[in-house]
Amino acid sequence: MTRKIRILPAADRDIDEQIAYISRENRDAAGRYVEAVSAILEHIVRMPGMGATRDYRNPRLAGLRMIPVPGFDNFLVFYLVTPGTVDIVRVLHGARDIRKILSRLS
């Protein structure tokens, strides 16, 4: 089954903020980050079951999966697989309080 990718607004903001932050120090690294995020999103769509499942108390996040951005392993893509889509929920730095951030999703 071919699924479509949906980048939810919070994840889109995460990616934009990370690009801006990285580009302040190193524009080349920011370009590599954009390419790495694009590549992992394409990979997730082809093989949505590859990410490690995460267990959060929020029932809306049942089945949430996580995978690092290659080459930027501290950045983690959190996503949900539905019958027709792969929903990118957040893209967060591993040093953040991920459990707290994800618990706020409604």
Predicted pLDDT of residue 106:
54
Does residue 13 carry a pLDDT above 80?
A: yes
Q: pLDDT tens-digit profile of 63-100?
A: 899 999 999 999 999 999 998 999 999 999 988 988 88
Give, as one character, the DSSP assignment of residue 49: G
CB half-sphere exposure, 58, CA atoms < 13 A: 14
Domain boundaries, the chain: 4-103
pLDDT digits (tens, 9 = 90+) for 22-47: 999 999 999 999 999 999 999 999 99
Confidence of residue 11 (pLDDT cuts 50, 70, 90): very high
Q: Where are the alpha helices (DSSP H) in the chain?
A: 9-25, 27-46, 98-103
Q: pTM of the predicted model, to two decimals?
A: 0.91
Mention the CATH class of domain 4-103: alpha beta
